[in-house]
Structure 1
Amino acid sequence: MKKIITTDQAPAPIGPYSQAVAVNGFLFLSGQVPINPTTGELEQSSIKEETRQVMRNINAVLLEAGYDFSHIVKITIFLTDMSLFDEVNEVYGSFFKNNFPARETVAVKGLPKGVNVEISATAYKA
């Protein structure tokens, strides 16, 4: 049976989707963009700050579902410009200790609200 995960510690969905869905030990997290859930404002002072906010949003959804970064098995990073890769990768990597998840990084023409980075994840807990 699937369970919809919702927290006010991450931005509310900006469309017809859930922040995450849990089913059979898997947690499927929708893509997060750098919206500060407290202010509702975009964090766009730098690509590093954008990425930190995205990762904080992911963390909030994980925690609401009873998961953490160690449970993530797959990540997809969407970037509007691959020249941002190194800075995004540096911040992203700081959220993991070891046993990194599988990942791909994809360059896209545009992202919601004109942001530079969006990250989605899949987690698993037995």
Structure 2
Amino acid sequence: MTKKTYRVGKLSDAIEARKIPLSAVVSGGGLVFVSGLPPVNWETGELVRGDILVQTRQSLENVKAALEAAGSSMDKVLKTTIFAVNSAYFNDINQIYAEYFPSEPPARTFCTVASWPWEFDIEIEAVALA
């Protein structure tokens, strides 16, 4: 079994620039693990500002880009975890989430958290088949 890390455009650059000790996406043992990804534009490395709908879409676009970098895809996702600063965002998050998982959605956990060192309201992680 081999562990492999992948780069996800400027998102990986943003992680490295802030000296955060993590990889955006790692594969091994037939699985792909996507770290919790906030609404940072993976193409520019800039934080995407906006309401929870905008932030959710960007976080899911980051998960999609990370999976594709590792040779996987959204339809191979087995489990996601959503971290949000407010449980009142639940329905809005579900509205966007359902667009990315229209049928047979993966197992999922929704957690509320206090805050992050950047100004965003959501972060999403995933585990998928390679």
Same fold, judged at TM 0.5 (above): yes
Selected match of 1:43 from 26, 44, 48: 48
The residue aligned with 1:2 is 3
% of aligned pairs identical?
33
For residues 2-61 of structure 1, the C-alpha deviation after alignment (integer angstroms, 9 at most, x for no partner) is 0111121x6122411101110011001101000113333221211100011111111111
Selected match of 1:66 from 68, 71, 75: 71
Distance 1:108 1:89 in 2: 17
The residue aligned with 1:21 is 26
Ranges in structure 2 where 5+ consecutive residues have no aligned partner: none
**Does residue 79 of structure 1 match 2:80?**
no
For residues 63-104 of structure 1, the C-alpha deviation after alignment (integer angstroms, 9 at most, x for no partner) is 111111111001000010011111111101100131111001
* TM-score (ref. length: structure 1): 0.92
Q: Secondary structure at the match of 1:85?
A: helix
Root-mean-square deviation (CA, aligned residues, Å) is 1.3
Is contact 1:32–1:119 with CA below 8 Å preserved after alignment? yes
The residue aligned with 1:114 is 119
Distance 1:95 1:112 in 2: 27
Q: Could you say which structure has the higher helix fraction?
A: 2
Ranges in structure 1 where 5+ consecutive residues have no aligned partner: none
The residue aligned with 1:89 is 94
Distance 1:67 1:115 in 2: 26
Q: How many residues align?
A: 124
Distance 1:114 1:70 in 2: 30
Is contact 2:41–2:58 with CA below 8 Å preserved after alignment? yes
Distance 1:77 1:112 in 2: 17
Is contact 2:26–2:70 with CA below 8 Å preserved after alignment? no
